[in-house]
Amino acid sequence: MDVLKRHNVHVFGQGEMPMVFAHGYGCDQNMWRFITPAFQHNFKIVLFDYVGAGKSDESAYRKDKYSNLQGYADDILEICHALELEDVILVGHSVSSMVGVLAVIKEPGLFHSLIMVSPSPYYISEGDYIGGFSREDLEGMLQSLESNYLGWSSAAAPVIMGNPDRPELSEELTNSFCKTNPDIAKQFAEVTFLSDNRADLPKVKIMSLILQCSQDVIAPTPVGEYVHQAVEGSEFVMLDASGHCPHISEPEQTIAAIKSFLDRNISGK
């Protein structure tokens, strides 16, 4: 099947330089709707759904391919090649930050810069590394997800989204989780939360921006600082934001940070 149909790819915008937006776990391209209008006048916007998410073609899902994050990175590369993109600005949320890292490592010449929104290279606290979870915590979460995906979705969404005073945000994330094929969601969760990409970070040699929320239980502050220190020459911005999804909860701050980064790094190109 055509890669663009497989991933429900949408391309719009008046600019030439492409910005590819990669959504996080349990989400789809609709989660970027508050961000893209700020960039569509100056950039070519590319949105897509991972296989199993949104309006993608679920029949293309293969357990072997998606048993690690490289399978998702290869999909991003395939989309970029199908559209004949160059000098790509890749914006990844949560797990897609690490998917983006793997894509950049595999084909660094394809990308201009990497923007990581709420990234985590490893969710498990280990030694001096603070990931936010114990292995027992994550194994318990994955068991809960395995036994009752819909129940897990309702319980996990408010924790991930934060902002308890704005329940409509958690409700949207819950609904997004519930639209995802449970079997695919279970494997993607295991791959997301058990992958360790710490050793990959120093291999990123392009301009990079890390956006960290000041209150994020999924990717706490030490995680963002770790990514910043590991990616040479990266920029780090702490957003005054609660939760793991600032592109939904605090889009204006997220837009301002991305615009500032791009304004400094695209001049003269």
Active centre residues (catalytic):
94, 216, 244
Q: Enter the tokens of residue 30.
A: 């609709």
With a CB cutoff of 8 Å and minimum separation 6, the contacts of 88 are: 18, 19, 20, 80, 110, 111, 112
Cα dihedral across residues 235, 207, 34, 57: positive or negative: negative
Half-sphere exposure of residue 39: CA atoms within 13 angstroms, side-chain side: 32
With a CB cutoff of 8 Å and minimum separation 6, the contacts of 13 are: 19, 36, 39, 40, 41, 42, 43, 44, 45
Phi/psi of residue 221, nearest 5 degrees? -50, -45
Q: Enter the tokens of residue 184.
A: 């695919």
CB atoms within 10 A of CB 127: 5
Cβ-in-10-Å burial (0-12, 13-18, 19+) of 128 comes to exposed
Query: Which residue type sits at 176?
Result: S
Q: What is the C-alpha separation between 11 and 71, in angstroms, rounded?
A: 22
35-47 burial, b at 16+ Cβ within 10 Å, e below that, comes to bbebbeeebbbbb
Q: In this structure, are residues 157 and 151 in contact, taking their beta carbons and an 8 Å threshold?
A: no
